Amino acid sequence: MVASSLTHEDAVKPIMDLVARHDIKYIRLIVIDPNGSPKAMLIPEYQLTDALVNGVAFDGSSILGFAEVNQSDLNLHPDPTTFMVPMWETPGIAVMFCYVSNPDGSYFHGDPRGHLKRTMDELEKEGYGFNTGPELEYFYVTGDNGNIVPFGEGGYFDLPPLDPTEDVKLETLICLEAAGFQLDRVHHEAAQGQQEINFRYSDALKTADNVILYKLAVKTIAQKHDTRATFMPKPFWGINGSGCHMHQSIVELDTGHNIFADEDKEFGLSDIARNYVGGILKHAQAMSMVVAPLVNSYKRLIPHYEAPVYVSWGFANRTALVRIPLAPGEKNKVTRIEYRHPDPSSNPYLVATVLINSGMEGIKKKMEPPEPLSENIYELTKKQMKEKGVEILPEHLGEAVEHFESDKSMKTALGDYLHKNMTELKRAEYEDYMSHTGVEWAASRPKITSWEYERYLTRC
């Protein structure tokens, strides 16, 4: 199947009926670049039928990491299932996510969203569905004499007046629910100015789309309230950074059975789930470049701030890389794996892709993880970690690139095109940072540089 055949003719009329019903004048067509940033164009409503049937041409070379200037012609194909009229948008504008094709209609292999769709399609052929649920943390920030500072003085679970963001958060919640989000819990996080709005899990593609919409809503509404929201992993040294813990489960499509659940096993975790953990741990160092993709990401991944540092797993252990939550409720519904490595700057489509590929490799090869750890892993000595087989995550982005490039499973998961482009992009990013600072990584790590603020604060 080629990309240009993704929109069946039967899908056109229902979309155009929605356009008329909501008095839509323009449609914002969103495409995702390799870094996970949404890019978009507006088309008038009278061009939408043609866009749905034939696609829309654009210059792929103008999007970083997409295409070379001598082979720059690409086409957008709006996904009819994603039509939405968000409250945070200008009235009269709807949004749609897109897939990307080459001029001949074949899939463009640099499209992260399209790549996850094909990965999910292959998994579905095996009879499985992959569900994910992210915990996205972020900061509200403001300027103080030219410096960036957290907005508010609150900490974990604090409420007004310590948390002055009630109005901006309430408007955000209303807009998200109107867009179809099922919200789970909302609270002030541990650091000053840090927030968390959780939404319900869904299949991995829908969740990745929701991550993009969530970030757009949070940042757009913050701007209306004269503050800024940033998903930069570590905007301030000395306090917690922002994570995007990824909860995961796999279900049998014909029965709805969660294959990670087994009532007869310890804590209800199946042997299949343990094998999945084995695959995740095996490739954790290589996945680091995808799930923690920025120079700044590695200033979050330090001990004692509830961020993972060591390749490990455990039940209800927040110092471990993989945590098995011991949640109340029916085991088939609540049993899941929480991967604590990702941060909110990561590309949610690529994160889901490398996770399911690594985990399924573990299942198919029956990879056994080491024994789960119950102790505070930050307090283990090097000798104890060696005895327990605990490895360390990459210390910086440059090291993560090396692990990613040398891991054949990453190339299998992402394909040659994305694997090569991501390697080149991230190596160049790390080298640019090192050139800017002019010092060794260890010397620049304990501070947030102007280079990072300029590059990440508003982009993330």
CATH number at residue 166: 3.30.590.10
Whole-Å CA distances, 131 to 89, 106, 251, 252: 28, 28, 8, 11
pLDDT, mean of residues 382-392? 86
Same domain, 94 and 200: no
Same domain, 418 and 348: yes
Same domain, 399 and 260: yes
Query: Among 116-130, 147-161, 239-253, 366-380, which is the least confidently predicted range?
Result: 147-161
- Tens digit of each residue's pLDDT (9 = 90 or more) over 433-446: 999 999 999 999 99
**Crossing angle of helices 284-291/348-364, nearest 10°?**
160
Q: What pLDDT was estimated at residue 6?
A: 58
CATH number at residue 7: 3.10.20.70
Q: Which domain holds residue 32?
A: 3-106
| Among candidate residues 134, 447, 436, 458, the one with its CA nearest the CA of residue 296 | 447
pLDDT band at 10 (very low <50, low <70, confident <90, very high): confident
Q: What pLDDT was estimated at residue 166?
A: 87
**What is the rounded distance in angstroms from the CA atom of residue 445 to the CA atom of residue 331?**
42
* Number of structural domains in the chain: 2
Residue 454 has pLDDT above 60, yes or no: yes
254 domain residue, yes or no? yes
pLDDT, mean of residues 284-299? 98
Q: What pLDDT was estimated at residue 70?
A: 57
114 domain residue, yes or no? no
The values of phi and psi at residue 140, to 5°, are: -90, 130
pLDDT band at 61 (very low <50, low <70, confident <90, very high): confident
Same domain, 264 and 349: yes
| Among candidate residues 341, 280, 291, 337, the one with its CA nearest the CA of residue 314 | 337
- Tens digit of each residue's pLDDT (9 = 90 or more) over 395-421: 999 999 999 999 999 999 999 999 999
Query: Among 142-146, 253-257, 292-296, 406-410, which is the least confidently predicted range?
Result: 142-146
Same domain, 11 and 102: yes
| β-bridge partners, 258 | 251
Half-sphere exposure of 381 (CA within 13 A, CB side): 3
Residue 288 has pLDDT above 90, yes or no: yes
113 domain residue, yes or no? no
Q: What pLDDT was estimated at residue 56?
A: 95
Looking at every residue in the chain, the average pLDDT score rounds to 92
Residue 379 has pLDDT above 90, yes or no: no
Q: Which residue has the higher pLDDT, 146 or 119?
A: 119
Q: What pLDDT was estimated at residue 345?
A: 98
| Structure token digits, residue 80 | 């009819």
Same domain, 23 and 67: yes
Query: Among 35-39, 71-75, 221-225, which is the least confidently predicted range?
Result: 71-75
pLDDT, mean of residues 262-285? 95
Same domain, 93 and 209: no
Q: What pLDDT was estimated at residue 111?
A: 95
User: How many whole angstroms from its chain centre is CA 156?
Assistant: 23
**Crossing angle of helices 397-406/408-437, nearest 10°?**
160
pLDDT band at 303 (very low <50, low <70, confident <90, very high): confident
Residue 188 has pLDDT above 60, yes or no: yes
Same domain, 73 and 142: no
Q: What percent of the chain has pLDDT over 90?
A: 77
Q: Over the range 404-435, which residues count as b (16 or more CB within 10 Å of their CB) and which as e?
A: bbebebbbebbbebbbebbbebbbebbeebbe
**What is the rounded distance in angstroms from the CA atom of residue 379 to the CA atom of residue 396?**
21
Q: What pLDDT was estimated at residue 2?
A: 44
Half-sphere exposure of 15 (CA within 13 A, CB side): 26
Same domain, 60 and 153: no
Q: What pLDDT was estimated at residue 25?
A: 98
Same domain, 81 and 169: no
SS3 308: coil
Q: What is the DSSP letter of 26?
A: E
Whole-Å CA distances, 241 to 265, 300, 308, 323, 428: 35, 5, 11, 18, 24
112 domain residue, yes or no? no
Same domain, 68 and 149: no
Query: Among 34-38, 120-124, 143-147, 385-389, which is the least confidently predicted range?
Result: 143-147
- Among the candidates 106, 129, 160, a domain finishes at 106
252 domain residue, yes or no? yes
209 domain residue, yes or no? yes
Residue-wise DSSP of 380-449 = --HHHHHHTT-EE--SSHHHHHHHHHH-HHHHHHHHHHHHHHHHHHHHHHHHHHHHHH-S-HHHHTTS--
**What is the rounded distance in angstroms from the CA atom of residue 118 to the CA atom of residue 399?**
29
Same domain, 267 and 353: yes
- Among the candidates 106, 137, 168, a domain finishes at 106
Q: What pLDDT was estimated at residue 385?
A: 84
| Structure token digits, residue 229 | 């929201």
Query: Among 150-164, 316-330, 347-361, 407-421, which is the least confidently predicted range?
Result: 150-164
**What is the rounded distance in angstroms from the CA atom of residue 132 to the CA atom of residue 129?**
10
| Structure token digits, residue 348 | 């949610």
**What is the rounded distance in angstroms from the CA atom of residue 175 to the CA atom of residue 225?**
14
- Among the candidates 106, 132, 164, a domain finishes at 106
Whether residue 111 contacts residue 126, with contact meaning beta carbons closer than 8 Å, is answered with no
**What is the rounded distance in angstroms from the CA atom of residue 336 to the CA atom of residue 325?**
7
176 domain residue, yes or no? yes
pLDDT band at 4 (very low <50, low <70, confident <90, very high): very low
Q: What pLDDT was estimated at residue 7?
A: 62
**What is the rounded distance in angstroms from the CA atom of residue 205 to the CA atom of residue 348?**
9
pLDDT band at 69 (very low <50, low <70, confident <90, very high): low
